[in-house]
């Protein structure tokens, strides 16, 4: 009698365990699916980022890079900020050039002669003037990337691989 009673109690506990496991699986399964979807989206974004970086031409060796420094700083009126004051930025720019670019020799000679410097400084001025002083302080890399994109629209892909603010002062 004790044996059959222990067997029945064990059987009841196994059934309760089975029911609780099923309830647990049913309640956790949607959350696991959502987490898997999120992980899939993040991994796809990382893959896209890695593909765009490798195909964008930004992985250039240091031997193939040359810098073109602009000696005269640009004084740029910044977008009005919330404080109501006018702010200015005094920026010296430097371009990172790809020596392996198809148009390197022609564009490089024009830059050295100063024939197209006004195009470069005008594009940088146009981009930087769209930002406030706070955005310039906090997002300098973003603004340099926007300036790089402006240079790519002028020179095409591959010649200018980066715009660097060699020195920057703002007021």
Whether pLDDT at 20 is above 80 = yes
CA 117 vs CA 69, 83, 143: distances in Å: 11, 34, 19
H helix or E strand, kind and range, residue 170? strand 160-170
Torsion, Cα of 154, 106, 102, 156 (10° steps): 0
Residue 3 tokens, joined: 């044996």
Tell me if 128 sits within 8 A of 136, measured CB to CB.
yes
Per-residue pLDDT band for 12 (boundaries 50, 70, 90) equals very high
Tell me if 51 sits within 8 A of 40, measured CB to CB.
no
Residues 54-67: pLDDT tens digits? 444 456 777 778 88
Phi/psi of residue 162, nearest 5 degrees: -170, 150
User: Beta 88-98 vs 65-69: how paired, if at all?
Assistant: antiparallel
Mean pLDDT score across all residues of the chain: 83
Compare 58 and 155 and report the one with higher pLDDT: 155
Residues 22-76: pLDDT tens digits? 999 898 888 888 888 888 888 777 766 555 554 444 567 777 788 888 878 888 8
In DSSP terms, 165 is beta-bridged to 93
**Residues 18-36: b if buried by 16+ CB within 10 A, e if exposed:** eeeeeeeeeeeeeeeeeee
């Amino acid at each position: 009698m004790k044996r059959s009673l222990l067997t029945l109690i064990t059987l009841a506990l196994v059934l309760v365990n089975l029911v609780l496991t099923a309830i647990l699986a049913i309640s956790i399964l949607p959350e696991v699916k959502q987490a898997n979807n999120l992980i899939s989206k993040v991994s796809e974004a990382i893959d896209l980022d890695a593909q765009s970086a490798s195909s964008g031409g930004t992985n250039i060796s240091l031997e193939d890079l040359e810098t073109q420094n602009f000696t005269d700083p640009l004084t740029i009126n910044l977008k009005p900020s919330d404080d109501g004051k006018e702010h200015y930025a005094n920026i010296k720019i430097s371009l990172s050039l790809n020596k392996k670019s198809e148009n390197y020799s022609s564009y490089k000679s024009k830059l050295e002669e100063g024939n197209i410097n006004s195009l470069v400084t005008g594009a940088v001025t146009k981009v930087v003037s769209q930002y406030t002083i706070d955005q310039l302080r906090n997002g300098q890399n973003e603004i340099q990337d926007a300036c790089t994109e402006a240079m790519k629209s002028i020179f095409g892909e591959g010649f200018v691989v980066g715009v660097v603010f060699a020195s920057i002062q703002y007021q």
